[in-house]
Amino acid sequence: MDIISERIKGLEESQTIKMAKLGRELAAEGFQVVNLSFGEPDFQTPDHIKLAAKQAIDDGYTHYTPVSGYAELRMAIVEKFKNENDLSYGIENIVVSTGAKQSLANALSCLVNLDDEVIIPTPYWVSYSEMVKLAEGKTVYINTTEKTNFKISVAELEAAITPRTKIFMFSSPSNPTGSLYSKAELAALVTVFEKNPQIYIISDEIYEHINYIGHHESIAQFDSIKDRVIIINGVSKAFAMTGWRLGYMAATKEIAQACDKLQSQVTSGTCSITQRAAMAALSGTMKPTYDMRDAFKYRRDLVYKELQSIPGMYTILPEGAFYFFPEISSFFGKSTGEVKIANSMDLCMFLLHDAHVSTVPGEAFGNDNYIRMSYAAAESELLTACRRIKESLAKLE
């Protein structure tokens, strides 16, 4: 008797988690593995945030929390949107969850009916398509390449829309490409959404503060569609708080209430200590965040120079986040010994076992011609990884 539901059997395992796991297993065997698979800042959570968490324990914040989050935290998020993004929300528009991942899943579950279509530009973060699948929707992809900096055009968006389109979902800055949309590019897309009032926009802005070219631009800034935009954000990337597990959304009161209802039956409120720490993060100094961003920019430039020296590998210079997404299809069909490279997974497994560098196959992000490499690692590790990758790829014939 098959006891596992069809819903779960049809779900793909997260490739980022899988590759990180394989890297840890190889390291446990005694190999010096450089892990470039996880999207996690290698910095410590800033001290003032840690102190707020310790104080919260001493002050007795050890009980159940409101499903949508403490009112004080939601107000801090409201102030963040006002001060940083010039966006006006009330606390009734804010729902705090156990990570941006849950916020995304909440939004999709509350908006998508059976066979509703969700447009997602590729490459996309690995969980987008699986979340749509869990919500019983259908994904419509708009494929992009490095030739357009991995961004879609108005014509491509219009061509993807059908009577069943319910949601457009994207990230800017992007995971895995590091590309981000300018205000003018967003404004052009908005003209399409204005003509299609049935479409809601889920804007994943978790990498907002890892931006190397200027001020973050949110698609929610356009009043004509703001009520149809669901902003997803959190504290994991900007404040090096991945393990704390706190994300949030901003949406209309109707959507926020629906997400509150769903969350009340699934996880209830986010950890009390984490919420108090997040208040300190959102209301305190941004210097550690900006210092971290500058460090990532230095690493980006360092790795970009190294990758450019690898024959057969091509990459754009990312404008945000902390990933490279190099094109590697020139290695398909090549081999060394018993190893033959047919796709991005083959190449990643080859690099893991030959170079002892963990990366993520592009197929997980919707394009098999690429791999993702995180540069959220120490400079020495990044240089070692690039050297090993170059040496291993040179063995392929």
| pLDDT computed for residue 222 by the predictor | 98
From CA 166, how far away is CA 178, in angstroms rounded?
26
pLDDT interval class at 18 (50, 70, 90):
confident
DSSP, residue by residue, 73-138: HHHHHHHHHHHHH-----GGGEEEESSHHHHHHHHHHHHPPTT-EEEEEES--THHHHHHHHTT-E
| Contact between 21 and 13 (Cβ < 8 Å) | no
| pLDDT computed for residue 274 by the predictor | 98
Contacts (Cβ under 8 Å, ≥6 apart) of 121? 141, 142, 143, 144, 150, 151, 152, 170
pLDDT interval class at 36 (50, 70, 90):
very high
| pLDDT computed for residue 12 by the predictor | 83
| pLDDT computed for residue 17 by the predictor | 77
For the chain, residues classed under CATH 3.90.1150.10 are 6-44+288-393
For the chain, residues classed under CATH 3.40.640.10 are 63-283
Instruction: Using DSSP, state whether 187 is helix, strand or coil.
Output: helix
pLDDT score of 62 more than 90 = yes
Torsion angle of C-alpha atoms 323, 326, 329, 332, degrees rounded to 10: -70
| Contact between 75 and 91 (Cβ < 8 Å) | yes
- pTM here? 0.95
Average of pLDDT values for 368-376? 96
Structure tokens at 113: 């009916």
Summarised one tens digit per residue, pLDDT across range 234-277 is 999 999 999 999 999 999 999 999 999 999 999 999 999 999 99
pLDDT interval class at 29 (50, 70, 90):
confident
Average of pLDDT values for 195-202? 98
Summarised one tens digit per residue, pLDDT across range 112-170 is 999 999 999 999 999 999 999 999 999 999 999 999 999 999 999 999 999 999 999 99
- Classify domain 63-283 by CATH architecture: 3-Layer(aba) Sandwich (3.40)
Give the fold, CATH level 3, of 6-44+288-393: Aspartate Aminotransferase, domain 1 (3.90.1150)
Contacts (Cβ under 8 Å, ≥6 apart) of 315? 146, 304, 307, 308, 324, 325, 326, 327
